[in-house]
Amino acid sequence: MFEFHADRRRYFEIQIENAEKYVIPFIEEKFALQPGMRILEIGCGEGGVLKAFINRGCTGVGVELDPARVEMAKEYLPEDIASGKFILLAKDIYESDVERDFNGAFDIIILKDVIEHIHNQPRLIRWMKTFLKPSGTIFFGFPPWYMPFGGHQQICKSFVSKLPYIHLLPRFMYRGILKSKGENVEEMMEIRDTGISIERFEKICKQEGYAILHKKHYLLNPIYEWKFGWKPIKQAGIVSAIPFVRNFFTTCVYYCIIPATEVKK
């Protein structure tokens, strides 16, 4: 386990810095971010990513299921909450109504390190159209399942946290190793069940009526700047173009998608 996984305040600060340095510039390459825009983040955690958008003059709305992280968000962002710049909802996104709960649709929806934890990914991606303005965009950032630590084994407490690709072992073998080392077997196996590849993500987007506005694949994830002191490296174009194989060598992907109907206008 990396130190900042246990230090939630530091993790919150890293999320702000990462969003300011990499997420927002990526979005702005194809989509103009303007003060006053409304940003929804699904699975907002402590609110670090949204804070970066708030600092740019936007209003942030965060939805988070984990009560502990909701309480930390309240602790870290009291002034923004008090001023109405950050609105926090502790509920299931599927139980939310865009008008009743959010007072209307959003210019940008953010899912950073979230889609790989969702069981019914097509349902969620389809559902988000009801929360997005026709001219809006949805940002995704996630590690492809087949990448060295696509199983999130870095959060483990034993030597498993150091082993790349171990999550790709046959299910019974992986479960047995986790159990023998006293790891949280159910959590890790759930991550295994929801992991998503680049190809599956792009296929779902197309099937659910979206077009890819912008994408970037990384050999070295931008977050590694804080984990290891390594600068991010964009994946080589020739590797990004090879289906399936690219998943094993791409540690992070960024995407912005829009409703396909907007492309035709």
Express each pLDDT in 18-72 by its tens digit.
999 999 999 999 999 999 999 999 999 999 999 999 999 999 999 999 999 999 9
| pLDDT tens string 112-157 | 999 999 999 999 999 999 999 999 999 999 999 999 999 999 999 9
What residues does each domain of the chain span?
A: 3-148+195-263, 153-190
Tokens of 245: 């194989």
Q: Are 74 and 81 in contact (CB under 8 A)?
A: yes
Residue pair 102/88 in contact by the 8 Å Cβ criterion: no
Q: How many CA atoms lie within 13 A of 212 on its CB side?
A: 16
Task: Return the CATH architecture of domain 3-148+195-263.
Answer: 3-Layer(aba) Sandwich (3.40)
What burial letters (b/e) apply to 100-119, b meaning 16+ CB within 10 Å? eebeebbbbbbbbbbbbbbe
**Token code pair at residue 53:** 């958008």
DSSP state of 91: S
Q: What is the DSSP string of 241-264?
A: TSTTHHHHH--EEEEEEEEHHHHT
On whether the pTM is more than 0.85, the answer is yes
